[in-house]
Chains A and B, each alone.
Chain A
Amino acid sequence: MNEPVLELLDRLFTFTFTIDDTLSLSRVSARLSNLCPGALCGANLFEVFHCHRPAGISSFEELCASDQSMFLLVSREKQLALRGQVVPLKEDQLYHFVGTPWLAWMNENASEVQLHLTDFPKLDSQMDQEIYLTSQQSMVRDLEFVNEKLTRAQEETMEANKVQSDMFAIMSHEMRTPLNGVISALSLLSEEDDPIERSKLTKIANESADNLLNVINYALDYSKLGAGRMDLDFDDFSLQSLLDAIIAVNEGRAKEKAIDVSYSLEPGLPKNLRGDPEKLRQVLINVVGNAIKFTEAGKVELRVLNCSNHFRFIVSDTGCGIGQDDLNHIFDPFWSRSKGSSESSTGLGLNIVKRLVELMSGQITVESTEGAGTTFYIDLPFELAASVEAVTADSAKGALPSYFSGRVLLVDDNQTNLMLGKMILEKYGLSVRTASDGKEAVDIVSEVEFELVLMDISMPVMDGKTACLEINQLPSPPPVIALTANVGPKFAQEYAKIGFKGYLKKPLENEALLTELNIWMKPGDTSVEPVNSGKTVNRTQVLTDLVRQLGEENFSSVKALFLEETERRLISLLSAWVRRDLEIVRKESHTLASSVGSFGCDDLSWRLKQIERASSQSDVSEIIRYMKDIETNARTALDAVSTFRTSEESQNG
Chain B
Amino acid sequence: MYGLIYTALREMVREHHGEKTWDAIVAKAGVPANSLLTMRSHDDETTLALMETASSVLALPLDTCLKAFGEYWITSFAAREYGTLLDRTGDSHLEFLQNLDDLHDRLSTSFTDFEMPSFRVEIKDSTTAVVRYSSNQEGLTAFVVGILQGLGKRFGTTITVKSIVPIATPGREQSNITISMVEASE
Contact = CB atoms under 8 A, between A and B. Distances in A.
A117 B88 CA distance: 5
Contact of A138 (B81, B88, B107): B81
A132 B81 contact: no
Nearest to B83: A134
Contacts of A141: 38
Contacts of B109: 125, 128, 131
A136 B110 CA distance: 11
- What secondary structure prevails in chain A residues at the interface with B? helix
A130 B99 contact: no
A143 B7 CA distance: 12
B4 interface: yes
A127 B84 CA distance: 11
B89 A117 contact: yes
A142 interface: yes
Interface in A431-481: none
A134 B102 CA distance: 17
A340 B168 CA distance: 84
A127 B107 CA distance: 9
B7 A138 contact: yes
A134 B82 contact: yes
Contacts of B105: 122
B33 to A, nearest CB: 9
- Size range of the chain B interface in the assembly: 20 to 34
B110 A135 contact: yes
B27 interface: no
B106 A128 contact: yes
B81 A130 contact: no
A643 interface: no
A131 B107 contact: yes
A118 B99 contact: yes
A116 B37 CA distance: 29
A116 B39 contact: no
Given A117-B102, A118-B99, A128-B106, A138 B38 contact: yes
A135 B88 contact: no
Contact of A136 (B39, B84, B99, B111): B39
A128 B110 contact: yes
Contacts of B37: 139, 142-143, 146
Contacts of A138: 4, 7, 38-39, 81
Contacts of A116: 88-91, 95, 99
B164 interface: no
A220 interface: no
B160 to A, nearest CB: 26
Interface in B1-60: 3-4, 7, 34, 37-39
A348 B81 CA distance: 49
A114 B106 CA distance: 18
B85 A118 contact: no
Given A116-B99, A149-B34, A131 B85 contact: yes
A115 interface: yes
A131 B4 CA distance: 13
A142 B38 contact: yes
Contacts of A132: 110
Contacts of A125: 109
Nearest to B38: A138
Contacts of B34: 146, 149
Nearest to A119: B88
B106 A127 contact: yes
Interface string A563-574: 000000000000
Nearest to A122: B105
A139 B88 contact: no
A485 to B, nearest CB: 44
Contacts of A135: 38-39, 110-111
Interface string B96-115: 00010011011101110000
B39 A139 contact: yes
B122 interface: no
Nearest to B37: A142
B91 A131 contact: no
A114 B39 contact: no
B138 interface: no
B183 interface: no
Contacts of B81: 134, 138
Contacts of A128: 106, 109-110
B175 to A, nearest CB: 25
A135 B88 CA distance: 16
Interface in B123-141: none
A125 B108 CA distance: 12
A325 to B, nearest CB: 35
26 contacts: A114-B88, A114-B91, A116-B91, A116-B99, A117-B99, A117-B103, A117-B106, A125-B109, A127-B88, A127-B106, A128-B110, A130-B84, A130-B85, A131-B106, A131-B107, A131-B110, A134-B85, A135-B38, A138-B39, A139-B39, A141-B38, A142-B3, A142-B7, A143-B37, A146-B34, A149-B34
Given A117-B103, A138-B81, 19 more contacts: A116-B91, A116-B99, A117-B89, A117-B102, A117-B106, A122-B105, A127-B88, A128-B106, A131-B107, A131-B109, A134-B81, A134-B82, A135-B38, A139-B37, A142-B3, A142-B38, A143-B37, A146-B34, A149-B34
Interface of B: 3-4, 7, 34, 37-39, 81-82, 84-85, 87-91, 95, 99, 102-103, 105-107, 109-111
Q: Which 9 A-B pairs have the closest CB atoms?
A: A138-B38, A135-B39, A131-B110, A139-B39, A142-B38, A128-B109, A142-B37, A132-B110, A117-B88
